Structures are given as C-alpha cells and as structure tokens.
Amino acid sequence: MCGIVGAVGHQQCSEMLLDSLKRLEYRGYDSSGIVTIHDNAIARRRAVGKLVNLDQDLRAAPLAGDIGIGHTRWATHGGVTTENAHPHVAAGRVAIVHNGIIENYGMIQQRLQGTGHSFSSDTDSEVIAHLFVEAFDAGLNPAAATVKVLAEIDGAYAFAVLSLDHPDLLIVARNASPLALGIGDGACYIGSDAIALSHLTRRVIYLKDKDF
Ligand code: GLU
C-alpha cells in the first residue's frame, strides 16, 4: 500500500504532483507514474524504480495540464513492470490510481472482458478504471457512477479517478486505506498522507471509510 496524490485547478500540476510523491517516498515503492488531462486528452508517464526515473521522463517529455493524479506502487498483483505501474487507463478516457487490493477483481475482470473490455495490465486495480467506463457509458453521472463502482468492489482501497467524460473533476473514494483532501485557493488536492499536502494547504479533510 503506497502513495496517491492528485490536484485539480493547480496550474501545470505535474511538477507539484512529483514533489508530493517525493514526500511519500518514505513509505517505500517499486514504481511510479503521473497522468494529466490537457487539450481533452489523457497523457501519462510511468517508470519502474526510483522517482528520479519518473523525474527524468518528465523532464524529457513534460506533462501539461491543471488536473492530474500520481502514484507510487507497492506491487501486490502483477509484477514490477511499466505496464503494471499506475495510473491505469481504460478506453483511452478513464485513468485511475489505487492503493490497496481489490479482492474480487478476477470475477469483475471476467465479466468486463465478456462485454468487450480489454485489459493492459496484470493488476487488480485496472478493473476500477473499466467499471467507471462502463458506468459512464450507461449514462450515470459521476456520483451515481461512483456509488455503482463501490457497490461492486470488495477490499481495501483508496483511489482517484480522472475521466475525459468529466475533465474538470477528480473522483476519490476510500475504504480501509487512508486518503486526505486538501482545500487550497482555487485548487483542491488529495494525498494518501497529509504530508503530501502540507506544503500546499493547511485545510485538510480526512476521508472516512466508504466516503467518496
Ligand atoms: N494492488 C495494486 C497493485 O498491485 C496497488 C498496490 C499499491 O497499493 O501500491 O498494483
């Protein structure tokens, strides 16, 4: 169980997200990644190993955008590879980062594969992204989609979702895994530990289990 960070409304947020991930390094991790939305497209960088590797990738190819999510992974399902590093993206339009374990991911994955979803990682986490695609395709609004997804997944989680369907919105939820919101001036932040937010704002809200 490692680190999640996110921001909405923070100008060119990718550098800030990397900085927040560095503040979570003490928790240990094996890979990392960041996604932003810019010009109605999802852009992603992921790297195995230390954050310095992700840092180098971002310097070589910076990510624009004022909304984004980042992750440090401690692999539980699927090897330590770039393909298994978070964020995971489904259908090119929903990106997720997840800490924890989705116990019933196998059943969900099978069901979704039967309806044409194709998976690109060996993680338990990727089902969350596909469940949101399915819910948005069914016409559900973000709150109703989240309620539906939470009813389907079992296990421990803190997750954050970005979607081209709602490009100004960051969806978060938690159960048995920590997640805090930081309220800034014109921007909101999330982090799996308030340490990731302390340099950004002092107004921090701790989510409780099943909050979203
Ligand atoms: N279970 C997920 C994975 O293996 C998330 C691990 C984590 O909490 O970093 O990718």
Q: How many angstroms separate the first and last alpha carbons of the chain?
A: 19
- Retrieve residue 16's tokens: 């800030």
DSSP label of 26? G
Question: Using CA atoms, how far apart are residues 205 and 190, in angstroms rounded to an integer?
Answer: 9
**Which is nearest to 64 in space by CA: 36, 45, 86, 27?**
36
Distance 19 CA to ligand 1 centre (A): 21
Instruction: For 137-166, write each residue's pLDDT tens digit.
Output: 999 999 999 999 999 999 999 999 999 999
DSSP string, 184-198: -SS-EEEESSGGGTT
Q: How far is the CA of 54 from the centre of ligand 1 (A)?
A: 18
pLDDT in tens, 79-136: 999 999 999 999 999 999 999 999 999 999 999 999 999 999 999 999 999 999 999 9
76 lines ligand 1 (CB under 6 A): yes
Q: Alpha carbon of 107 to those of 84, 102, 112: distances in Å?
A: 19, 11, 9
CA of 72, closest atom in ligand 1: 9
